């Protein structure tokens, strides 16, 4: 099961446990964000981490370029996510 964020994945783990399913033995669960919910979950969540600080820094630079008029065309940047393997998958 892949959830859109770690908090939802934590909820998935809770619902699975309530229904007698074991994570990861019966169902593998993967979250997204690598938030505090990922390490607080039992079992700890496998999750996808985005380079949030790099993304924010790049966005600030692009915004500054647009404000100064140095860049006017739309810009697209792609950042590589990282799979953080823990006990849920």
Q: Where are the domains of the chain?
A: 6-84
Confidence (pLDDT) at 72: 79
Confidence (pLDDT) at 71: 78
Token digits of residue 2: 């892949």
Token digits of residue 80: 């590589």
Provide the pLDDT confidence category of residue 1 given band limits of 50, 70 and 90. very high
Over the stretch 28-63, which tens digit does the pLDDT of each residue have?
999 999 999 999 999 999 999 999 999 999 999 999
Is the pLDDT assigned to residue 14 strictly greater than 90?
yes
CA angle 60, 48, 37 (to 5 degrees): 95
CB-based contacts of 67: which residues, under 8 Å, 6+ apart? none
Confidence (pLDDT) at 80: 97
Over the stretch 59-79, which tens digit does the pLDDT of each residue have?
999 999 999 998 778 889 999
């Amino acid at each position: 099961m892949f959830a859109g964020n770690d908090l939802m994945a934590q909820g998935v783990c809770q619902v699975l446990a309530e229904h007698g399913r074991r994570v990861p033995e019966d169902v593998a669960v993967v979250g997204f964000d690598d938030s505090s919910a990922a390490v607080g979950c039992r079992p700890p969540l496998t999750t996808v981490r985005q380079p949030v600080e790099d993304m924010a820094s790049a966005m600030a630079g692009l915004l500054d370029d647009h404000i100064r008029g140095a860049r006017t065309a739309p810009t697209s940047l792609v950042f590589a996510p990282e799979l953080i393997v823990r006990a849920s998958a």
